[in-house]
Structure 1
């Protein structure tokens, strides 16, 4: 799953900023059920009721970073949201394809962005946050080492897991796996259709 954490208590304003259409009221139970239902989840977005000052937006269809072969649609989306909201974050965890990501914009400025998949590191902007350092995550440059044996491919990468993604989310804003322990207040958000513009697009290369 991929999700956004937006510093706002207004799910309707969040939905409008995202350009979502066909909004249908949903609570935590119906919203989570919709985006995980294998028959109807494709193309659906859940804008959750606010919790502790944050509104979470979850969908498999969010435009996660996918490497140089695809157009990066998440960074422009975050920059757009960061104009309107004080803090905007994104997270992604797809263990089946070893794809993990987290990024953070505060007061309109990108503070940190990291993403990795089977093909290697896709994003690595800004200094690792305190939460990353506490988890022992690192990205170690070994270029320039002489007389080394074997080929490390220029970089030694310690890959994260989905538990790392959840831990970073909890340190920055809200860990969605801990919603029950946070005693989320009853409320209503939205289920909506994802924009077609979020769909993956390959980079067109000139021959």
Structure 2
């Protein structure tokens, strides 16, 4: 029994040492392992940062980048020949030799000089128009599509000896053209294909309309009895016949600047 007791005593001592190792030594070993792992990861990140600094120098001040595609597509900023327009647009041709009189009569605000490219681009935004320099006795005001889609003409038409107005939009097939002299409406034709009806047909067709074959267009109440319907090219054709061609097909106008304004 004495020998058995000694063996059991030794076994208990061994078990106590094992438990002590599990409770104390093992956590310490795990902690040391995690500490070394963390230091290794930190060293790796520091090395990557040093390599990154060697690849890209540290610039002092503001770093500027260039979008070359945007630069190539940037609109012209200085004087240039008139840029064609007219499609999906509304405009007026006002007989006047001074664009400043036009801006005052129309009550335009925030008048800023602009090239044709910039001005026409700005005129596509609601509430802005582009006023051109005088061309063949007329000043053009581009960006009036929403105004001319309404029934009534603006009151400022009476301030000039002649005002021509044009509007066309292929999506709704809205096409309108007309002419006023000293505030008197002489001609106003408007057809809306989306609604399938003639909205306005005031005054007798002008000789220019007859020459262009507009006599075959529908009349009020007779929309189905016609030879053909108006289109956007017809609007540009009558504008050219009455005064200024918005396509500027002649191409002999000198470089010039206009003005961007707010209605």
- TM-score band, normalised by shorter chain: 0.7 to 0.9
Instruction: Measure the CA separation in 2 of the matches of 1:130 and 1:13.
Output: 30
Say if 2:223 is the partner of 1:135: no
User: How many residues matched?
Assistant: 171
Query: Who is 1:199 aligned against?
Result: none
Structure scoring higher RCO (CA < 8 A, sep ≥ 6) equals 1
Gaps of 5+ in 2: 1-88
* Structure 2 residue corresponding to 1:54, chosen from 138, 141, 146: 138
Shift of the 95–84 alpha-carbon distance from structure 1 to 2, 3 Å rule, reads: same
Among candidates 242, 247, 260, match of residue 172 of structure 1: 242
Partner of 1:200: none
How far apart are the structure 1 equivalents of 2:102 and 2:219? 39
What is the CA-CA distance between 1:17 and the residue it aligns to?
A: 1.1
TM-score (norm 1): 0.74
Does 1:28 pair with 2:133? no
Greater fraction strand:
1
Q: Shift in Å at residue 89 of structure 1? A: 0.7
Residue aligned with 1:14, SS = helix
Contact 1:3-1:92 at 8 Å conserved across structures? yes
Q: Which runs of 5+ in 1 are unaligned?
A: 67-71, 144-152, 195-207
Q: Quick check: 1:88 aligned with 2:163? A: yes
TM-score, normalised by the number of residues in structure 2: 0.59
**Structure 1 position 124, deviation (Å):** 0.1
Residues 1:11 and 2:81 are matched in the alignment: no
- CA offsets 1:71-128 (integer angstroms, 9 cap, x no match): x24x2x1xx3332211101000101110000010123321110011122111100011
| The one of 110, 124, 129 aligned to 1:45 | 129
Residues 51, 185 of structure 1: 8 Å contact kept: no
Q: Aligned in 2, Cα 1:54/1:142: closer, same or farther, shift over 3 Å? A: closer
Are the aligned partners of 1:2 and 1:60 in contact in 2 as well (CA < 8 Å)?
Answer: yes
Counterparts of 1:142 and 1:51 in 2: how far apart (Å)? Answer: 35
- Answer yes or no: is the 8 Å Cα contact 1:87–1:105 preserved in 2: yes
- Give 1:177 shift: 0.8
Q: Distance in 2 between matches of 1:174 and 1:99?
A: 21
Structure-2 change in CA distance of 1:35 and 1:82 (3 Å): closer
Deviation at 1:190? 1.1
